[in-house]
């Protein structure tokens, strides 16, 4: 990472001279690029400190496992929230410095510079999943690999969690700077010469934008929960149909276990569950802009980027820290008798289960949400300028357009989510009947499929289609 940064410094000087020549602007461009690069490296180093299992933040989470999963969650969430301090301070310094050097253009250059090491960042981001999957393969192979193989892959996976969190730190910081530059461009394109924070319409937009980041993160979290629940019910049904699936050494006939069914559930959920969050990202600038005007939309963009960056950093850092706290316990960091298959390990597994959708779903997705809102607002800016010069007054002439868009989108999403939730409830009921008990473990109903007892020879009968 440091080597690629050094290479970038030389290339940035060359590109700045080629574009600006001897106009006197070349050193300003170069200075903004160096500030952005330095800020990105500081944020990356801080993220590494907060998520590495050799550092104190992760160790503090692991130590909380002595009192159960609740304290693990509390400590991890606290670490994630505290981790926003340094990245936000760096962003503030970067924005002020680049604005002093070259105004909004300098801020945009700094945002690009934070991603100048993108090749290394992407490689380190992919490193974690590769090591994690290697460990999963080693665990499924049982006696076919050496006993210390899983130990080695766990160490690689822990390092991968840190590198992935570092890559997310670069991306989040760059998204924030990019959004700042885009907001300035939107204000100019919409013809808003002055946006005052004492304007009630602007303040209303700030509150709307701050709320949208939390709603978006909540929608993605709930989507992960519903998909996971669907897969859990499917796995329970397969275990009930063939109890010997619990024995990792047992190999049944073709189609047992039914991996394809679980993969299908995950794939369909990944597509269908993103409809509502995507609609929120796409249509919120339309609704706010046409309904409340471009001044309110400016406030929404400001609130969106400020709350979104904090939520994204919190989720990404807390998720990585929870994951590595589990790895720290697994490697025996708490001492003898406090590793795998203990209550200490079980507590950190709960934290990791919460942290996975934090760091892999909601946190990274907020980057796209922040930039998408700003980009769509710039696309809409000319229409706001033509119908409502200087932002207009509320209610404005496009008020009815915003109402129509809001009603149509709301009705479509309500109908879509109604049928989605109905489908989940139906699948859960059918799978629990196939399992033989309800969610509370009560006796099976008369229509429940009987659970076949274990036999000496593997059955060749296919799983019952549910």
pLDDT at 466: 33
Q: 73-95, pLDDT tens digit by residue?
A: 999 999 999 999 999 999 999 99
**pLDDT tens, 110-143?**
888 888 887 887 887 788 788 888 888 887 776 6
DSSP state of 336: T
Whole-structure pTM value: 0.81
**pLDDT, tens digit, for every residue of 145-179?**
777 787 788 788 778 777 777 778 888 888 888 88
449 by Cβ neighbours in 10 Å (0-12 / 13-18 / 19+) ranks as middle
Phi, psi (degrees; rounded to nearest 5) at 85: -65, -55
Q: Which range among 172-176, 217-221, 242-246, 454-458 shows the weakest confidence by mean pLDDT?
A: 454-458
Judged against a pLDDT cut of 70, whether residue 28 lies above it is answered with yes
- Give the distance from CA 380 to its chain's centroid: 27
pLDDT digits (tens, 9 = 90+) for 281-312: 999 999 988 888 888 899 999 999 999 999 99
Confidence band of 392 (pLDDT split at 50, 70, 90): low
Q: How far apart are CA 76 and CA 222, in angstroms?
A: 20
Each residue of 252-265: pLDDT tens digit? Answer: 676 678 888 888 88
Q: Give the domain ranges of the chain.
A: 2-435
**Given this model, what pLDDT does residue 465 score?**
37
**What is the rounded distance in angstroms from the CA atom of residue 332 to the CA atom of residue 170?**
31
- Answer whether 87's CB lies under 8 Å from 46's CB: yes
């Amino acid at each position: 990472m440091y080597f690629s940064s050094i290479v970038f410094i030389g290339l940035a000087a060359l590109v700045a001279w080629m574009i600006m020549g001897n106009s006197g602007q070349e050193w300003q461009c170069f200075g903004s690029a160096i500030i952005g690069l330095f800020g990105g490296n500081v944020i990356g180093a801080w993220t590494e400190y907060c998520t590495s299992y050799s550092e104190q933040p992760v160790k503090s989470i692991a130590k909380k496992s002595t009192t159960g999963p609740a304290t693990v969650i509390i400590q991890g969430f606290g670490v994630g929230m505290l981790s926003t301090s340094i990245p936000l301070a760096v962003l503030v310094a970067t924005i002020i410095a680049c604005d002093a050097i070259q105004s909004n253009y300098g801020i945009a250059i700094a945002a690009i510079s934070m991603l100048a090491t993108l090749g290394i960042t992407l490689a380190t981001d992919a490193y974690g999943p590769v090591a994690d999957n290697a460990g999963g393969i080693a665990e499924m192979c049982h006696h076919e690999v050496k006993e210390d193989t899983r130990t080695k892959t766990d160490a690689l996976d822990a390092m991968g969690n840190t590198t992935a969190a570092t890559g997310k730190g670069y991306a989040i910081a760059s998204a924030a700077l990019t959004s700042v530059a885009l907001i300035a461009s939107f204000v100019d394109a919409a013809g808003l010469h002055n946006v005052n924070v004492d304007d009630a319409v602007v303040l209303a937009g700030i509150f709307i934008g701050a709320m949208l980041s939390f709603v978006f993160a909540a929608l993605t979290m709930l989507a992960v929960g519903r998909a996971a629940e669907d897969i859990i019910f499917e796995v329970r049904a397969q275990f009930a149909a063939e109890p010997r699936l619990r024995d990792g050494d047992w190999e049944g006939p073709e189609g047992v276990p039914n991996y394809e069914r679980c993969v299908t559930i995950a794939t369909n959920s990944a597509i269908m569950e993103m409809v509502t969050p995507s609609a929120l990202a796409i249509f919120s600038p339309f609704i706010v802009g046409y309904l409340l005007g471009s001044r309110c939309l400016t406030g929404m963009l400001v609130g969106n980027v400020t709350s979104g960056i904090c939520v994204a950093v919190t989720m990404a850092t807390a998720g990585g820290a929870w994951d590595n706290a589990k790895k720290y316990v697994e490697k025996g960091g708490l001492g003898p008798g406090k590793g795998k298959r203990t209550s200490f390990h079980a507590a950190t597994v709960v934290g990791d289960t919460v942290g996975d959708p934090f760091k892999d779903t909601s946190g990274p997705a907020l980057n796209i949400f922040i930039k998408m809102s700003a980009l769509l607002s710039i696309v809409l800016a000319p229409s706001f300028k033509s119908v409502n010069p200087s932002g207009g007054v509320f209610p404005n002439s496009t008020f009815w357009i915003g109402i129509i868009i809001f009603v149509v989108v709301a009705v479509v999403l309500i109908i879509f989510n109604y049928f989605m939730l109905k489908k989940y409830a139906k699948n859960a009921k059918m799978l629990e009947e196939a399992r033989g008990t309800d969610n509370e473990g009560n006796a099976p109903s008369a229509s429940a499929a009987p659970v076949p007892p274990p036999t000496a020879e593997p059955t060749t009968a296919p799983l019952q289609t549910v």
